[in-house]
Amino acid sequence: MGGVEAADLPDPRAALEAIEAAGFVVSLELRRSEITDRADVVLPIAPAAEKSGTYLTWEGRERPFAAALTRADSMADHRVLDALAAEMGRGLGLADVESVRRELALVDGAAVETVASGSVAGASDQTGTTTRQSSPPAAPAAGQAVLATWRMLLDAGRMQDGEPHLAGTARGPVARVSPATALEIGVADGAPLTVSTERGAITLPCAITAMPDRVVWLPQNSRGSAVNATLAAAAGDLVAVTAGEASP
């Protein structure tokens, strides 16, 4: 497990159960977490300031960055994995970040070639071109909505550990729905709105917003809005929306 919090995963409860059931767990991490508490071995890795890498935005755009501190002795994730593989007689050839980027580019290129060659499940026309078969969009009924969610720049992420003043500047979490959706479920702007699944419920102030009807937006990992852990739902899933507080 490399740099992953249970809360980052679609169903944190199921993920922790799977880790507990594993025969041997190695964690690459910066700080103690629910994952390290279950790991047999924890290997410390370099923080972002001490290594080069690439962030992926929520739009899927790559944002490469260089190490800000270059004299540190800590090892980046890829160097730890490369060293372990070498000790096992399986050289990966990933001792530097450029090698990792080239390897990832090859993986992405292979995926594109697979789609182009028609090796993906789908329907082929008479020219031999393969098209992906997508699932029909969710059709929410009254009292339901399609969940939209993503992480805010400042939220309940672990990178703010020990910095309450920065965390205190984060936006207050709200549940956003369209005017028509708010009218349909009988909730006023600023009043409590509850979003729920069979797993749990999140109640936040309603923020009436110009957006598609029967869609509800929640911050994915903010204080009082831990979507993965509470709802075990992802963007695009159907959820229930009701006015008022969640039932005890």
Tokens 């290997």, residue located? 43
Per-residue model confidence (pLDDT) at position 121: 44
CATH for 144-243, among 2.40.40.20, 3.40.50.970, 1.20.140.10, 2.60.260.20? Answer: 2.40.40.20
Are the beta carbons of 225 and 205 closer than 8 angstroms?
Answer: no
Per-residue model confidence (pLDDT) at position 118: 54
Q: How long is the chain? A: 248
Matching fold, domains 6-107 and 144-243: no
Amino acid letter for position 21: A
Per-residue model confidence (pLDDT) at position 127: 42
Are the beta carbons of 10 and 4 closer than 8 angstroms?
Answer: no
Tokens 């697979």, residue located? 114
| Domain extents in the chain | 6-107, 144-243
Per-residue model confidence (pLDDT) at position 55: 86
Low-confidence residues in the chain, pLDDT < 70: 109-135, 248
pLDDT for 159-177, tens place per residue? 888 888 998 899 999 999 9
pTM of the model: 0.76
Give Dmax (Cα) for the chain. 64
Provide the 8-state DSSP code for 137: P
DSSP strand E in 46-129: where? 53-56, 62-65, 122-124
Q: How far apart are CA 218 and CA 193, in angstroms?
A: 11
CATH assignment, 6-107: 3.40.50.740
Amino acid letter for position 105: A
Per-residue model confidence (pLDDT) at position 117: 56
Per-residue model confidence (pLDDT) at position 184: 97
